[in-house]
Structure 1
Amino acid sequence: MECLGVSSAQNLQALSALLSAQQDDDDDDEESKNVTAFAQLGPGHIGPPPKKDKEVLTAFEKKNSKDIWSEEEVAEGSQYDDLADTRPQPEYEVILKQSVGTEDLFLGLSGKDPSSMCCEAMLVKIKLPDTKATDVVLDVKEKFLDLRTPKYKLGLHLPHPIHRQEGKAQFFSERDELEVTLLLKRSMDFINMQ
């Protein structure tokens, strides 16, 4: 049985040459030339050759698209940005917290691990130098924290959804720092928080 004019013995030789790391350069006869020609082909040679030039969308093609705008044109969190407001963003730190006891730490009875999947709360520490607690306006949504003071503004997209009614905030005037503790809302809480 022949396949594309090459016998099955030649196919086996070509496959052997493809799979082996060593190639014999001593054989110069016609059969070895055919084998090396076939052995140079690989899985990347199946199908049409790849396009070398990237396709560039013209304005006409964008205009005919059903999309109103592309993802690159919309800034992340742009609905909270106020371009006329030039107040700087304060320094902040987001820390995930777990409640662990000795049975968790030494015995591993509850199945908790140090990963973020087992965290119950999120602590956001915000440095607010030269600010009084009465000047702070804080609005917490399920996935966004909005903080405004006369000198600073912070619009922070939270890494996990939270229970917005169950959080607490505390201002430490000696450190000029606001600590906001937020309880995480997870879809698999019944598995993670046992």
Structure 2
Amino acid sequence: MECLGVSSVQSLQALSALLSNQQEEEDDDCKSVTPGAHMGPGHIGPPPKRNTEASSAYTKRSSKDIWSEEEVAEGSQYDDLTDPRPQPEYEIILKQNVGTEDLFLGLNRKDPSSMCCEAMLVKIKLPDTKATDVFLDVKENFLDLRTTKYKLGLHLPHPIHSQEGKAQFFSERQELEVTLLMKRPMDFINMQ
């Protein structure tokens, strides 16, 4: 084992020369290192180029936007902290299409986990509300419901097919049921 003296500085300089792509351009700091001087990880390898620009991942675009649209969570445009309307009670239920072959024989390899669910049922209680007063907008990850008395901005736990769903208002229970088909990228593995 070597002592951490002159020999370790010489070893770092030799390693730096091996790692350098341009052997004729050596770092000025490495040439003037005295045996007692401290060398760090920045002294290994080729010297940094002075005229390099920052990578495109860290450069700011010429626009005056603070962040890009990809960085903003879907549905955040509906968040309004000054809106005094209360949030209604809701419940999310995951659903499966299960037949007798699944229940008794296990032919489709379905289990009770949420991974095998095909749809999501959102039950929203809307007391003193008519079906004509309900405005509903469904995105892939967000459900926006607005009435004259209530406001619900719900970030969904799973992505859904926004065009393939149905909503039904039950006036006797004063409840809206929204059934949404879940978008699952691994369906070809799970449901074969």
Q: Same fold (TM over 0.5)?
A: yes
- Residue of structure 1 in register with 2:100 after alignment: 102
CA shift at 1:189, angstroms? 1.2
Instruction: Provide the rounded CA distance (Å) in 2 between the counterparts of 1:78 and 1:173.
Output: 30
Mark the CA change 1:184 to 1:75 in structure 2 (over 3 Å): closer, same or farther.
Answer: closer
Q: State the distance in 2 between where 1:98 and 1:83 align.
A: 36
Match of residue 148 from structure 2? 150
Structure 2 matches for 1:43-192, cutoff 5 A? 78-192=76-190
- SS of residue in 1 equivalent to 2:136: strand
Unpaired stretches in structure 2, ≥5 consecutive residues: 1-58, 60-65
The unaligned stretches of length 5 or more in structure 1 are 1-65
Structural RMSD (CA): 2.4
Following superposition, the deviation at residue 77 of structure 1 comes to: 5.8
SS at match of 2:120: strand
TM-score (norm: length of structure 2): 0.61
Counterpart contact for 2:74–2:141, Cα < 8 Å: no
How many residues matched?
A: 129
CA distance in 2, matches of 1:120, 1:136: 26
What amino acid does structure 1 have at the position aligned with 2:107? L
Shift of 1:191: 1.5
Work out whether residues 162 and 180 of structure 2, in 8 Å CA contact, stay in contact via their aligned partners in 1. yes
* Deviation sequence 1:33-81 (CA, Å, 0-9, x none): xxxxxxxxxxxxxxxxxxxxxxxxxxxxxxxxx9x79xxxx99964321
Equivalent pairs: percent with the same residue?
A: 89
Structure 1 distance, partners of 2:75, 2:105, is 43
